[in-house]
Amino acid sequence: MSPQFTDEEFQSAWRELDEPRLEGGWELFVETMGVKIYRLYDKETRLYEYKVFGVLATCTAELCADVYMDLAYRKHWDSYVKELYETDFSGQTAIYWQVKYPFPLSNRDYVYVRERRDLEVDGRTVRVVLARSAPDLPCAESGGVLRVKDYKQSVALESDGGCGTKVFMNYFDNPGGNIPTWLVNWAAGTGVPDFLTNMQKACSKYGDYRQKK
């Protein structure tokens, strides 16, 4: 059984590369290292949803998408990954991901489904990856680790016309527990640009990694 993402969800993601949708309360949160991050306050959860727009100047969209999808490789370059692997839950392929949190906070883990599609749009190739939590799948929770049950992320990648990649990312998660405001702001304002920088570095080393496998 494949993840149930609709054609419209994929279309909605790539369209933001051309026309960012920022009406309805979106505010510019931070701009750094060529990355703009907007946020939207959710009254129900009292948390923010984020949209990220930027350019990875030194790697192609195809390479970015391949690196983003490679779970085994991510464990080599993303220092916040505690565990990350694809597995089968009652016939549904899903991903288990445990994220390291700073002491004294508990680690968080996710069970989610994802799908990648490479779309042809008026002669352009746009690579879109959608992911969302799948809390109903039978994955036992670990002691001392909080399960994130409300998570979604979409990523759209397209050539910038040169050697780089235009990136759009939309994400929300509810980590539960009492997360200090400073940590939430750091994760969005600094952690996301750092992640994109580290991913760009990872792209430059991906060929060597593949050869050694």
Strand 92-99 vs strand 107-121: parallel, antiparallel, or unpaired?
antiparallel
Res 1: pLDDT: 45
Residue 78 within any structural domain of the chain: yes
Looking at residue 127, which CATH number applies to its domain? 3.30.530.20
Q: Is the pLDDT of residue 50 over 60?
A: yes
Residue 100 within any structural domain of the chain: yes
Q: What is the mean pLDDT of residues 84-113?
A: 91
From residue 88, give the alpha-carbon distance in Å to each of 65, 73, 85, 158: 23, 20, 10, 31
User: Total domain count for the chain?
Assistant: 1
- What is the per-residue pLDDT across 140-185, written as a single tens digit (0 to 9) for each? 898 899 999 999 999 999 999 998 999 999 999 998 887 787 777 7
* Local structure of 65: helix, strand or coil: helix
Q: What is the mean pLDDT of residues 23-32?
A: 93
Taking a C-beta distance cutoff of 8 angstroms, is the pair 65, 157 a contact?
yes
Residue 2 within any structural domain of the chain: no
- What is the per-residue pLDDT across 94-107, written as a single tens digit (0 to 9) for each? 999 999 988 888 99
From residue 203, give the alpha-carbon distance in Å to each of 51, 125, 160, 161, 180: 22, 19, 16, 18, 32
Taking a C-beta distance cutoff of 8 angstroms, is the pair 195, 52 a contact?
no
pTM here is 0.92
Range of the domain at 66: 7-212
The two structure tokens encoding residue 8: 């419209």
**Mean pLDDT over all residues of the chain?**
91
